[in-house]
């Protein structure tokens, strides 16, 4: 019974899924299953929709994104405006989330800080995603010396703790937003490159790649049109999770004073400024941290939902 | 087996050498060895030149590197330009303190993480499984430094206020109470609780996921079905066939993580004023303390590489398939 | 271990070793509940080799796993029927009782011996474990027994090889190890789930040889699960053909080959691999593929693919009907005189 499908943990069920794919479309729609020929994206999207937590998280992230992009509309005050008579106000009317030691409005600073934190998170994830995909596909496609070199470089960087190397590199480059995005990107692409390399190594042997080659497709075309679409799931999941990681690491760097420098607010350096005020103005500690937690949690839930959606073998049994 | 270990150990030597070159190059690019004293008006130009000469900084970089490497291997780690103290004892103390914190957290986390992971896997889709999955997400998403600050607020401020205490329930900074003489074990443990909690939350989250995944793999494996088909009792099936194979990958992951401890507790140590490697590194970076940063990084990298080696060997010991390949 | 049922020739030789009655096994899936086995009955006599054949997904492996209560958890369960082992129902037996029977009275070997053996335990130890689980025995004696079993199944230098790990054996040798483990306690029934599918053709014959040999030696009955009628020929005494969770035909092996009565059986015979011919990839040369078990065809499940389909096949379910001594088939026309495959339906 398990002759041909060995992939799933429950081979029997794996087979039944396949068998179900042979049914007419209307039956399938009733069962919430996907018909043969439905595009991969539609399947993924439908699976994702069933992951309610991931969808809710996606919604929250979109909301946070909109608020960040239109920070000047949503923020009640400027992020640098100092209300000198209203220093260290606790949350209440006028300043909903209180003020800091310079009398700046905490809510406004959180909104503008969110803009920076999200920009860093997405900027790093995207650029690292592009670099990682390119390097990984080249190494996986061509193998040989390029592959060896890539793996050695990755090993080398992995032997120095990430935070340490980031602190050193950030010291070298400086503390602007762009500097930090560059520094993080340099060290964020490697895990993805490894994953892409891995899937390319196995895809290289697949029949459809052989077929494409036999009809004279160029290497570039084979990589972009035939192999990349088949490796897209892990890439998207990884890039998504990298957003969370980048936001966390940026906040740590800024917190330690090696990241984005004041007066530009980020959730991390706001926490750094609040550290000495923990006992007198605890709200300055609570809010930026909750913002980071909420964002990172949502990104992680979304990433998890995507992983399930792309790799259905992991989750076949009705919950 | 012995051959495998020897071969694997030999491979580590070039890795260490290449790592040392990179560390040297990176640190040299970051911090000027004399920047810290040049800005000090009371140090004469002649003194700076003497210092430069003593460190061999007037020679070409490859020669500097070789001089440094020779000194490093012989344990001559030099003197901090900023504090004037020898580097060796500072690093040794830092490493010792970091290990106290790190190893304690590690033991706590492994016991909790493995326990939670196994139980979640065996009771997959149970309430406990969902709870531990949710907690793991929270643990992996919470910013460590913020969690530490919150614990400080809760234990240093809220609890004290609510219950009108004279002193905080738990100390929120340092390794021992100020003015304490000798080693008071209870006092030490009380100081460990908050930083260990902060560190463990992350590690438990990670390891419980890891254990759960490994355990689920094994639970669905054909050989576990065989074990049941043989009529073994459930305890033998779990202990002999499932747990051992499920935990093998975790053992090597844990070994790698222990190596990373040497330089990995920067945030927790900073917040809880724990005088370990992390605090040493941050202050050295802030002061441009060249000799401390260089030695520190080399020690940390060596730890990582050596524990990677140990991880590989452990894996080979535990999984016979590796040995003969 | 006094309550273990041992074979008593006087009492038992007339009774079947195992009788499966109206077995129903279900899986919960994302899409709904699937009946992998739907009301299947059969019995196996002392020393008989009984084969269950069918395409992948027809429920034959589920039958095998159901006998020992080994359906994958938590998705699978036995939803009805009985599995009578020497008259005792194993479906309703306590877990402890089931454990006593497993490996002792009924043993099982699987398709892929590499994944079915624990990679981190020496093979001798994995065999010795069976003794220790069911008998009070010195570890040293258990080990010696394990070595002896290895030589019985034809593993050279058994004494040394017992200390090796599964990955150090070839595929055929690994399957011999599995057989050694299964026959350790001389079970009354050996379930072999696709025992040769993962092996080369030449090795397949050897493994079947070993199975028939141990059956002779220990008077075991064998439940042989396979998708390959070529394996059945020359091995099995009786054959049951399954399709989409149902039993569609059962006959003594020779009759099945000579006078197959169900059109699905004709198809299977047409696609049988022959030892004397090169293997031609995977099985089905029957047009179409098996139906979804989520929404099975309302009447005859083979109707959508049947070359001789009639209107009645789509409206009425064909009950099993007797066509000869020991032969039944679930086809409306099985009893029609002259009912059988046209020459082009069974390529020679």
Could you tell me if A1 and C59 are in contact, meaning their C-beta atoms sit under 8 angstroms apart?
A: yes
Note whether A16 contacts C27, CB cutoff 8 Å: yes
State yes or no: cis peptide before C46, omega within 30 of 0.
no
Over its C-alpha atoms, chain B yields an Rg (Å, rounded) of 24
Best mutation site among B146, B205, B219 for testing chain A: the one with the most A CBs within 10 Å?
A: B146
- Predicted local distance difference test score (pLDDT) of residue C240: 95
Could you read off the pLDDT of B191-229 as tens digits, one per residue? 899 999 999 998 999 899 989 988 998 988 899 999 999
B176: nearest Cα among B161, B191, B186: B191
pLDDT for B150 beyond 70: yes
Closest in C75, C112, C291 to A13, CB measured:
C75
pLDDT for B6 beyond 90: no
Could you tell me if B287 and B36 are in contact, meaning their C-beta atoms sit under 8 angstroms apart?
A: yes
Strands C106-109 and C189-193, bridge-based pairing: parallel
Give CA–CA dist C237/B218, Å, rounded.
37
CATH code of the domain containing B209: 1.10.3720.10
Q: Is C161 on the interface with B (CB under 8 A)?
A: no
Best mutation site among C118, C180, C190, C195 for testing chain B: the one with the most B CBs within 10 Å?
A: C118
Q: Encode chain A (319 residues) as per-residue pLDDT tens digits.
A: 222 222 223 333 333 333 333 333 333 333 333 333 346 677 777 777 777 888 899 999 999 999 988 888 877 777 777 777 777 677 777 767 777 777 788 888 889 989 999 999 999 999 999 999 998 888 888 887 878 887 777 777 777 788 888 888 888 887 788 888 998 998 888 888 888 888 888 888 778 888 888 887 888 888 888 888 888 888 988 899 999 999 999 999 888 888 888 888 889 888 888 888 777 788 888 889 999 999 999 999 998 888 888 875 543 333 2
Residue B15 lies in a domain: no
Bridge-partner residues for C38, per DSSP? C24
Averaged pLDDT of chain C:
86
Residue B18 lies in a domain: no
Chains in contact with chain C (at least 3 beta-carbon pairs closer than 8 A): A, B
Confidence label for B37 from pLDDT (cuts 50, 70 and 90): low
- Predicted local distance difference test score (pLDDT) of residue B115: 94
Count how many pairs of residues, chain B against chain C, have C-beta atoms within 8 Å.
77
B33: nearest Cα among B207, B243, B290: B290
Burial class (CB in 10 A: 0-12, 13-18, 19+), A235: buried
B294: nearest Cα among B14, B100, B28: B28
∠ CA A229-A234-A240, rounded to 5°: 115
> How many domains is chain B partitioned into structurally?
1
Closest in C60, C112, C293 to A19, CB measured:
C293
CA atoms within 13 A on the CB side of B101: 37
Backbone φ and ψ of C132, nearest 5°: -70, -30
DSSP state letter for A23? S
b/e code A19-52 from CB counts within 10 Å (16+ = b): bbbebeeeebeebebbbeeeeeeebbeebbeebe
Measured between beta carbons, the chain C residues lying within 8 angstroms of B236 are: 129, 133
Min Cα distance B261 → chain A (Å) is 9
- Predicted local distance difference test score (pLDDT) of residue C214: 92
User: What is the arithmetic mean of pLDDT over B81-100?
Assistant: 87
Min Cα distance A218 → chain B (Å) is 37
Strands C221-226 and C189-193, bridge-based pairing: parallel
Give CA–CA dist C11/B235, Å, rounded.
36
Give CA–CA dist C282/C138, Å, rounded.
47
Bridge-partner residues for C89, per DSSP? C84
Note whether C129 contacts B229, CB cutoff 8 Å: no
Bridge-partner residues for C85, per DSSP? C18, C88
Closest in A255, A279, A297 to B141, CB measured:
A297
Residue B312 lies in a domain: no
> What's the farthest any 2 CA atoms get from each other in chain C?
67
Give CA–CA dist A166/C299, Å, rounded.
68
Residue B97 lies in a domain: yes
Residue B278 lies in a domain: yes
Could you read off the pLDDT of B225-270 as tens digits, one per residue? 999 999 999 899 998 999 888 888 888 888 888 888 887 789 999 9
- Predicted local distance difference test score (pLDDT) of residue A75: 74
Give CA–CA dist B32/B82, Å, rounded.
12
> Which tokens hold the place of B222?
């054909």
DSSP state letter for C275? T
Could you tell me if C231 and C208 are in contact, meaning their C-beta atoms sit under 8 angstroms apart?
A: yes
> Which tokens hold the place of C81?
């029927």
Could you tell me if A311 and A235 are in contact, meaning their C-beta atoms sit under 8 angstroms apart?
A: no
b/e code C315-344 from CB counts within 10 Å (16+ = b): eeebebeebeeebbbbbbbbeeeebebeee
User: What is the arithmetic mean of pLDDT over B14-41?
Assistant: 76
Between B54-68, C179-193, C303-317, the lowest mean confidence (pLDDT) is in: B54-68
- Predicted local distance difference test score (pLDDT) of residue A316: 35
Could you read off the pLDDT of C208-256 as tens digits, one per residue? 999 999 999 999 999 999 988 888 888 899 999 999 999 999 999 999 9
Helix axes A162-173, A177-188, angle to 10 degrees: 140
Confidence label for B190 from pLDDT (cuts 50, 70 and 90): confident
Confidence label for C345 from pLDDT (cuts 50, 70 and 90): low
Residue B33 lies in a domain: no
Between A88-102, C81-95, C100-114, the lowest mean confidence (pLDDT) is in: A88-102
> Which tokens hold the place of C321?
């009907």
> Which tokens hold the place of B194?
């908050």
b/e code A156-192 from CB counts within 10 Å (16+ = b): bebbbbbbbbbbbbbbeeebebebbbbbbbbbbbbbb
Note whether B216 contacts A279, CB cutoff 8 Å: no
Note whether B140 contacts A286, CB cutoff 8 Å: no
- Predicted local distance difference test score (pLDDT) of residue C5: 46
Residue B138 lies in a domain: yes
The residues, ordered by sequence, that sit 6+ positions from C134 with a Cβ below 8 Å of its Cβ are B231, C1, C4, C100, C103, C104, C185
Could you tell me if B256 and B307 are in contact, meaning their C-beta atoms sit under 8 angstroms apart?
A: yes
Give CA–CA dist B306/B303, Å, rounded.
5
DSSP string, A32-72: T---TT--HHHHHHHHHHH-HHHHHHHHHHHHHHHHHHTHH
The residues, ordered by sequence, that sit 6+ positions from C278 with a Cβ below 8 Å of its Cβ are none
Confidence label for C40 from pLDDT (cuts 50, 70 and 90): very high
What domains does chain A contain, in order, with CATH numbers?
Answer: 58-310 (1.10.3720.10)
Q: Is B299 on the interface with A (CB under 8 A)?
A: no
Confidence label for B36 from pLDDT (cuts 50, 70 and 90): low
Burial class (CB in 10 A: 0-12, 13-18, 19+), A101: middle
- What is the residue range of B181's domain? 90-289
Q: Which residue in chain C has the smallest CA separation from B218? A: C118
Give CA–CA dist B56/B212, Å, rounded.
54
> Which tokens hold the place of C268?
């299977």
Averaged pLDDT of chain B:
85
Cα four-point dihedral sign C173, C178, C183, C188: negative
Measured between beta carbons, the chain C residues lying within 8 angstroms of A207 are: none
Backbone φ and ψ of C82, nearest 5°: -135, 150
Helix axes B290-318, B277-287, angle to 10 degrees: 150
Give CA–CA dist B286/B266, Å, rounded.
13
Could you tell me if C171 and C203 are in contact, meaning their C-beta atoms sit under 8 angstroms apart?
A: yes
User: What is the arithmetic mean of pLDDT over C261-290?
Assistant: 65
Residue B99 lies in a domain: yes
DSSP string, A209-276: HHHHHHTT--HHHIIIIIIHHHHHHHHHHHHHHHHHHHHHHHHHHHHHTSSSPTTS--HHHHHHHHGG
> Which tokens hold the place of C225?
């699960």
Could you tell me if C221 and C44 are in contact, meaning their C-beta atoms sit under 8 angstroms apart?
A: yes
Could you read off the pLDDT of C278-300 as tens digits, one per residue? 444 444 467 777 888 888 888 89
- Predicted local distance difference test score (pLDDT) of residue C12: 53
CA distances in angstroms from C54 to A232, B160, C266, C284, C303, listed in the order given: 37, 73, 12, 10, 16
DSSP state letter for C303? G
């Amino acid at each position: 019974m398990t002759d041909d499908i060995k992939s799933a943990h429950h081979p029997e069920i794996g087979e039944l899924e396949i068998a179900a794919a042979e049914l007419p479309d209307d039956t399938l729609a009733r069962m919430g299953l996907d018909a043969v020929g439905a595009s991969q994206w539609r399947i993924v999207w439908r699976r994702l929709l069933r992951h309610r937590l991931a969808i809710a998280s996606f919604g929250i992230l979109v909301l946070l994104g909109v608020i960040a992009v239109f920070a000047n509309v949503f923020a009640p005050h400027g992020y640098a405006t100092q209300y000198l008579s209203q220093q260290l106000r606790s949350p209440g009317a006028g300043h909903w989330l209180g003020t800091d030691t310079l009398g700046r409005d905490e809510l406004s600073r959180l909104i503008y800080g969110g803009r920076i934190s999200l920009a860093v998170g997405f900027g790093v994830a995207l650029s690292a995603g592009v670099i990682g995909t390119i390097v990984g596909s080249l190494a996986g496609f061509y193998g040989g010396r390029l592959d060896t070199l890539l793996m050695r470089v990755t090993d080398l960087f992995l032997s120095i703790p990430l935070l340490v190397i980031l602190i050193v590199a950030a010291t070298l480059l400086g503390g602007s937003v762009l500097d930090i995005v560059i520094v993080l990107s340099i060290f964020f692409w490697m895990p993805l490159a490894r994953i892409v390399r891995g899937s390319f190594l196995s895809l290289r042997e697949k029949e459809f790649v052989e077929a494409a080659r036999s009809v004279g497709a160029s290497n570039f075309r084979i990589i972009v049109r035939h192999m990349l679409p088949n490796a897209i799931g892990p890439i998207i999941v990884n890039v998504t999770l990298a957003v969370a990681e980048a936001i966390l690491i940026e906040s740590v760097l800024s917190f330690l004073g090696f990241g984005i420098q004041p007066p530009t607010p980020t959730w991390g350096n706001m926490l750094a400024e609040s550290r000495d005020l923990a006992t007198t103005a605890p709200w300055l500690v609570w809010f930026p941290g909750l913002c980071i937690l909420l964002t990172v949690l949502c990104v992680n839930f979304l990433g998890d939902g995507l992983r399930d959606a792309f790799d259905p073998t992991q989750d076949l049994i009705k919950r | 087996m012995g051959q495998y270990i020897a071969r694997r150990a030999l491979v580590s030597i070039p890795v260490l050498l290449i790592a040392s070159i990179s560390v040297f190059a990176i640190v040299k690019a970051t911090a000027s060895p004399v920047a810290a004293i040049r800005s000090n008006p009371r140090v004469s130009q002649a003194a700076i030149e003497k210092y430069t000469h003593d460190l061999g900084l007037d020679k070409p970089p490859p020669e500097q590197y070789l001089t440094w490497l020779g000194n490093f291997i012989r344990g001559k780690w030099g003197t901090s330009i900023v504090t004037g103290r020898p580097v060796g004892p500072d690093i040794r103390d830092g490493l010792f303190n970091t290990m106290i914190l790190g190893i304690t957290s590690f033991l706590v986390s492994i016991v909790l993480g493995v326990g939670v992971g196994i139980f979640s896997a065996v009771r997959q889709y149970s309430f406990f499984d969902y709870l531990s999955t949710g907690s793991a997400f929270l643990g992996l998403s919470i910013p460590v430094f913020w969690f530490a600050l919150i614990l400080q607020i809760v234990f240093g401020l809220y609890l004290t206020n609510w219950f009108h205490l004279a002193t905080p329930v738990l100390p929120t900074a340092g390794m021992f109470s100020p003015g304490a003489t000798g080693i008071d074990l209870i006092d030490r443990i009380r100081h460990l609780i908050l930083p260990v909690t902060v560190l463990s939350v992350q590690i438990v989250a990670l390891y419980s996921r890891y254990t759960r995944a490994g355990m689920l793999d094994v639970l669905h494996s054909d050989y576990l079905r065989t074990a049941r088909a043989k009529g073994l009792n459930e305890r033998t099936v779990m202990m002999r066939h499932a747990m051992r194979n499920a935990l093998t990958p975790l053992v090597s992951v844990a070994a790698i993580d222990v190596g990373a401890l040497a330089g990995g507790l920067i945030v927790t140590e900073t917040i809880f004023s724990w005088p370990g490697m992390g605090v040493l590194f941050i202050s050295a970076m802030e002061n441009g303390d060249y000799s401390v940063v260089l030695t520190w990084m080399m020690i940390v990298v060596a730890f990582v590489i050596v524990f990677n080696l140990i991880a590989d060997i452990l894996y080979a010991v535990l999984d016979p398939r590796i040995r003969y390949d | 271990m006094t309550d273990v049922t041992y074979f008593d020739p006087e009492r038992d030789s007339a009774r079947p070793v195992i009788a499966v009655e109206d077995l129903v096994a279900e899986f919960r899936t994302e899409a709904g509940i699937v009946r992998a086995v739907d009301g299947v009955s059969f019995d196996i006599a002392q020393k008989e080799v009984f084969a269950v054949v069918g395409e992948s997904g027809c429920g034959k492996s589920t039958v095998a796993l159901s006998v020992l209560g080994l359906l994958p958890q938590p998705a699978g369960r036995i939803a009805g029927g009985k599995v009578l082992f020497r008259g005792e129902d194993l479906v309703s037996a306590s877990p402890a009782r089931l454990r006593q029977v497993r490996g002792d009275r009924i043993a099982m070997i699987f398709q892929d011996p590499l994944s079915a053996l624990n990679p981190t335990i020496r093979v001798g130890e994995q065999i010795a474990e069976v003794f220790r689980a069911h008998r009070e025995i010195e570890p040293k004696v258990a080990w010696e027994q394990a070595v002896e079993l290895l030589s019985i199944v034809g593993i050279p230098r058994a004494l040394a090889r017992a200390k090796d790990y599964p990955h150090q054996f070839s595929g055929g040798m690994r399957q011999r190890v599995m057989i050694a483990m299964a026959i350790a306690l001389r079970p009354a029934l050996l379930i072999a789930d696709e025992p040769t599918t993962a092996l080369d053709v030449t090795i397949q014959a050897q493994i079947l040889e070993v199975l028939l040999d141990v059956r002779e030696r220990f008077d075991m009955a064998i439940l042989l699960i396979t998708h390959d009628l070529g394996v059945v020929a020359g091995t099995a005494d009786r054959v049951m053909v399954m399709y989409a969770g149902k039993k569609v035909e059962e006959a003594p092996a020779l009759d099945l080959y000579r006078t197959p009565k169900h059109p699905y059986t004709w198809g299977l015979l047409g696609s049988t691999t022959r030892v004397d011919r090169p293997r031609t990839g995977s099985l089905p040369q029957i047009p179409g593929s098996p139906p979804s078990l989520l929404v099975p065809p309302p009447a005859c499940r083979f109707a959508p693919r049947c070359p001789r389909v009639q209107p009645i096949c789509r409206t009425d379910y064909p009950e099993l009907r007797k066509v000869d001594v020991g032969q039944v088939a679930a086809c409306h026309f099985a009893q029609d005189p002259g009912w059988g495959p046209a020459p082009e339906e069974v390529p020679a």
